[in-house]
């Protein structure tokens, strides 16, 4: 729960800035922010080079020296991050023009610095998880976003200058991230560059497929927003620009963050947990339980958010220009749920030292994402792109499941899990077709639906407990 708080609370507090951003910035300007941050998410994976997972794997081996392995991992990440950041800063003007932000080389400089800081503290954060220091982990993460929130409020409500515009959001991120350097000052001062070939070569061999997997994964998640700007036909949305479409699509993804938060928090705690339980003879049964109850939790979030968008938009999205994209939110929630299932199923190739399998799956998915978007965006816009997300993540989960049962059999309750997901999504669609004369009646009906759903799940799962299935 503490690792979850360290992941969920910062991202949720950051999400609460979303109403402020969408109130001040039009969808076109918010589209620029969405577009650039999609590239940042992609580059973050390159900067770490898979060293976080490699650090976990090698530091957990019997007789390993975690300090030595930390120094090796940190050295490589420092080299990659510093080198790439300097290149981006040197060519900031050209990059800003290439990305459609001519005259805003400062955006590229700030984002490069953000990337550098994010990644030189990535391995120190991983070591906190290895050392089982969730309180410290959560404190640093939450402190960062509190500072970030304060800076956003100051820049956008007190010191706002229209010439800087959306740049204030980038600048606030940079200043807030700089505090990470203070938090980890002792760790960074004690770090000693290490080029131990006995560890560096096998760690790179283990890490680079994970990096490729991460790149492909980020392409699956963020490329739709990048591709939308380039492949959406002119005037596809009558009287609206491609930047507008990217902006409102990005706002729909913001509502899907409720599922994304759950998946991310789960990953933060689950990865070291899976590695630590690998030697347990009952681990397959344990992993199956984890996946099953993850699906149930995800279905509850899908239903909770999916049928309450009528209230959430009034609370969080005051600018009605953004409301046009809300119908795709349940689709995106479903996609993130399937991605979370894939992360669960992927435990087998991490524990059997076959990371290349994950690379093949996610690279294939990334290629499919690009190809499908090429054909679907011109005819179905961002709604088609949303369904591509579901299809791709679902396919990844299916392929991973089939291969995993061959090499590392785990007794997943696949049929019941799939049924839960399908029934929940159908319920969301059905409930959203029912209209009421007042918001009070609608909300009451939605809450009763949620209560009935929880009660039904409890009765079903209670039956399994009594039968001794779990």
For the cut 60, the answer to whether the pLDDT of residue 97 exceeds it is yes
The CA-atom distances, in angstroms, between 19 and each of 22, 260, 301 are 5, 18, 21
Q: Tokens 């979370």 identify what position?
A: 340
3-state secondary structure of 402: helix
Residue 35 to residue 40: CA distance in whole angstroms: 9
Range with the poorest average pLDDT among 160-174, 190-204, 379-393, 426-440? 190-204
Rounded to the nearest integer, the mean pLDDT of the chain is 88
Q: How confident is the model at residue 210 (pLDDT cuts 50, 70, 90)?
A: confident
pLDDT tens per residue across span 11-57 = 777 778 888 999 999 998 888 888 888 888 889 888 988 888 888 88
Position 7 scores a pLDDT of 64
For the cut 90, the answer to whether the pLDDT of residue 395 exceeds it is yes
* Averaged pLDDT for residues 214-235: 83
Residue 346 to residue 354: CA distance in whole angstroms: 10
Q: How confident is the model at residue 470 (pLDDT cuts 50, 70, 90)?
A: very low
The pTM of this model reads 0.81
Output the CA torsion sign for 17, 23, 27, 32: negative
CB 294 within 8 A of CB 436: no
pLDDT tens per residue across span 45-76 = 889 888 888 888 888 777 778 889 999 999 99
Position 100 scores a pLDDT of 73
- CB burial of residue 463 (10 Å; 0-12, 13-18, 19+): exposed
CB 361 within 8 A of CB 392: no
DSSP state of 326: G
CB 104 within 8 A of CB 163: no
3-state secondary structure of 300: helix
Output the CA torsion sign for 164, 167, 173, 175: negative
First and final CA of the chain: distance in angstroms? 22
Instruction: Identify the residue with better confidence: 441 or 65.
Output: 441
Tokens of 389: 């997300």
The CA-atom distances, in angstroms, between 370 and each of 364, 377, 434 are 10, 10, 35
Buried b (16+ CB within 10 A) or exposed e, 259-298: bbbbbbbbebbbbbbbbeeeeeeebbeebbebbbebbbeb
Contacts (Cβ under 8 Å, ≥6 apart) of 222: 38, 39, 41, 42
Output the CA torsion sign for 172, 216, 48, 288: positive
* Averaged pLDDT for residues 256-264: 85
pLDDT tens per residue across span 162-184 = 888 999 999 999 999 999 999 99
Tokens of 120: 């030189």
Residue 259 to residue 23: CA distance in whole angstroms: 23
CB 268 within 8 A of CB 6: yes
Tokens of 292: 């099953």
Position 238 scores a pLDDT of 87
CA angle centred on 392, ends 428 and 364, rounded to 5°: 170
Q: Tokens 């059999």 identify what position?
A: 409
User: What does residue 159 show for φ and ψ, rounded to 5 degrees?
Assistant: -110, 25
Residue 47 to residue 266: CA distance in whole angstroms: 23
Contacts (Cβ under 8 Å, ≥6 apart) of 139: 6
Residue 189 to residue 166: CA distance in whole angstroms: 35
Torsional class of 63: left (φ above 0), alpha (ψ -120 to 50), beta (otherwise): left
Position 12 scores a pLDDT of 72
Residue 195 to residue 86: CA distance in whole angstroms: 22
DSSP state of 325: G
Instruction: Identify the residue with better confidence: 332 or 101.
Output: 332
Position 248 scores a pLDDT of 93
């Amino acid at each position: 729960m503490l690792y979850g708080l360290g992941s969920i609370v910062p991202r949720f507090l950051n999400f609460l800035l979303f109403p402020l951003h969408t109130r001040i910035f039009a969808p076109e300007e918010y589209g620029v922010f969405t577009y650039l941050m999609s590239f940042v998410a992609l580059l973050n994976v390159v900067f770490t080079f898979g060293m976080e997972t490699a650090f976990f794997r090698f530091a957990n081996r019997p007789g390993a020296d975690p300090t030595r392995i930390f120094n090796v991992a940190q050295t490589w990440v420092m080299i990659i991050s510093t080198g790439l950041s300097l290149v981006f800063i040197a060519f900031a003007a050209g990059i800003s023009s290439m990305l459609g932000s001519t005259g805003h080389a400062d955006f590229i400089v700030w984002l490069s610095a953000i990337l550098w800081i994010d990644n030189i503290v990535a391995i120190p954060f991983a070591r906190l998880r290895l050392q089982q220091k969730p309180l410290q982990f959560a404190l640093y993460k939450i402190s960062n976003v509190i500072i970030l929130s304060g800076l956003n409020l100051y820049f956008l409500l007190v010191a706002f200058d229209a010439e800087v515009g959306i740049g204030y959001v980038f600048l606030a991120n940079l200043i807030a991230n700089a505090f990470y350097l203070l938090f980890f000052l002792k760790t960074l001062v004690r770090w000693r560059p290490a080029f131990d070939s006995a560890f560096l070569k096998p760690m790179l061999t283990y890490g680079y497929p994970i990096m490729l997997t991460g790149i492909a994964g980020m392409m699956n998640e963020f490329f739709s927003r990048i591709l939308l700007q380039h492949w959406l036909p002119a005037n596809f949305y009558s009287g609206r620009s491609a930047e507008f479409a990217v902006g409102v699509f990005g706002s729909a993804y913001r509502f899907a963050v409720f599922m994304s938060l759950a998946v991310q928090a789960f990953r933060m705690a689950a990865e070291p947990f899976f590695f630590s339980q690998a030697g347990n003879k009952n681990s397959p049964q344990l992993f199956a339980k984890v996946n099953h109850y993850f699906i149930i939790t995800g279905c509850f979030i899908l239903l909770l958010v999916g049928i309450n968008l009528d209230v959430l938009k009034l609370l969080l999205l005051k600018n009605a220009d953004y409301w046009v994209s809300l119908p795709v939110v349940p689709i995106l929630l479903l996609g993130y749920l399937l991605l979370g299932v894939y992360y669960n199923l992927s435990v087998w190739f991490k524990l059997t030292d076959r990371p290349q399998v994950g690379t093949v799956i996610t690279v294939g998915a990334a290629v499919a994402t690009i190809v499908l978007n090429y054909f679907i965006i011109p005819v179905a816009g961002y709604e088609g792109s949303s369904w591509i997300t579901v299809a791709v993540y679902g396919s990844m989960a299916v392929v991973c499941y089939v291969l995993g049962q061959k090499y590392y059999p785990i007794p997943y309750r696949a049929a019941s899990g799939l049924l839960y997901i399908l029934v929940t999504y159908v319920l969301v669609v059905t409930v959203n077709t029912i209209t009421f004369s007042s918001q009070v009646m609608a909300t009451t009906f939605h809450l009763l639906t949620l209560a009935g759903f929880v009660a039904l799940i409890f009765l079903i799962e209670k039956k399994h407990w009594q039968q001794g299935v779990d």
